[in-house]
Structure 1
């Protein structure tokens, strides 16, 4: 509980986050007791949080990115926001989807809490380009919005990506579908700017 408090309210955990303290069985039992006492909240099998509290609404839902990161730590995998979430992170969509989709090189898993869904989908390397980086978010936003809005993605990404991220994009472009490559290369070749975080962006 001290470790949960140290990270502040809103933290999301799996048993693997505590295995340096005790064996798996003991950790499972301790987390179960803390959840039953109301000190932690059980979100799903093997997934807990130390929820933020609202004075009127009570416990708030966890941040989807935090849930995805916790599940990734459990399996030692990488995650990358995808779909509408990626477009939203770039400011190219005002839509905040109820389902937050992530691509991962680990196992697929879906977690439902309230009206929110966190959906981790196993993806092959060709679909998981520069995972956990702003460059990867640009690729996924472009994949979601399609060629018809490629110029919008290029304009925003040119302003938001750092020089380092653009280098990552340049080296990763060869892995992308042919229709994406000209847009990714054009973004990588622009100068200046830096990544500007949005409330729904992620930098795993």
Structure 2
């Protein structure tokens, strides 16, 4: 293996990592088109040794988020880790419960356990002090194709219909469209993706999409 080829592969890997931004988690699988497995593994190992990326667990890395205030790297983004594992093993996954609320910014409580429904094997990983669990579920429970759709459905289900008022709807809308109105293409895609969910959740999502598509959400 020539140094030139190795350096070229590292540069391509870095370009993809930087393009995804800090917090992104990944495995060799995410760079499969850039070279053979041994070359990718060696390149990732070199970047980890340099401190550019961090090894989260065997075969999985992240580009650490950094706090200027704390002057140190932050803990891995568990949702990013979950999706990196899903890509690695070819799973479809969907976050559940309080973890969905936390990801969307509707809960300040940091979960010590993240549960994802999965069409793969049931597995549990320990990431620092956080438990990441994948639970095998029926395909019917994983029928949303978009990540934003899945988050909406699971977060609303976690809150329950009695606890979803105008303030919560506005918060969901701001998550979907923090800076500018939600594009019509995205709005229509989410609406199609959630048309067969529980009636009250579907109605709430339509209200959220209406708010996110206007200036009222900001």
Separation (CA, whole Å) in 2 of partners of 1:42 and 1:91? 27
Q: Secondary structure at the match of 2:210?
A: coil
| Residue 140 (structure 1) shift | 1.7
Q: Larger RCO: Structure 1 or Structure 2 (Cα < 8 Å, ≥ 6 residues apart)?
A: 1
Separation (CA, whole Å) in 2 of partners of 1:125 and 1:157? 28
Any residues of structure 2 matched to 1:74-85 within 5 Å, and which? Answer: 74-85=88-99
Corresponding residue number in structure 2 for 1:176: none
Structure 1 residues 61 and 188: alpha-carbon distance in aligned structure 2, compared to 1, 3 A threshold: closer
Higher helix share: 2
| Residue 195 (structure 1) shift | 7.5
Conservation of the 8 A alpha-carbon contact between 1:138 and 1:157: no
Q: Secondary structure at the match of 1:121?
A: strand
Separation (CA, whole Å) in 2 of partners of 1:18 and 1:77? 17
Structure 1 residues 143 and 73: alpha-carbon distance in aligned structure 2, compared to 1, 3 A threshold: same
Corresponding residue number in structure 2 for 1:194: 212
Q: Which consecutive unaligned segments of at least 5 residues does structure 1 have? A: 174-180, 197-204
Structure 1 residues 97 and 24: alpha-carbon distance in aligned structure 2, compared to 1, 3 A threshold: same
Matched length: 185
Q: String of CA shifts for 1:59-78, please: whole Å, max 9, x gaps.
A: 32121222122112212333
| Residue 12 (structure 1) shift | 1.6
The counterpart of 1:6, out of the listed 1, 9, 18, is 18
Separation (CA, whole Å) in 2 of partners of 1:68 and 1:37? 25
Query: What is the aligned-residue RMSD (CA, Å)?
Result: 3.2
Structure 1 residues 117 and 21: alpha-carbon distance in aligned structure 2, compared to 1, 3 A threshold: same
Q: Which consecutive unaligned segments of at least 5 residues does structure 2 have? A: 1-9, 177-181
Corresponding residue number in structure 1 for 2:133: 119
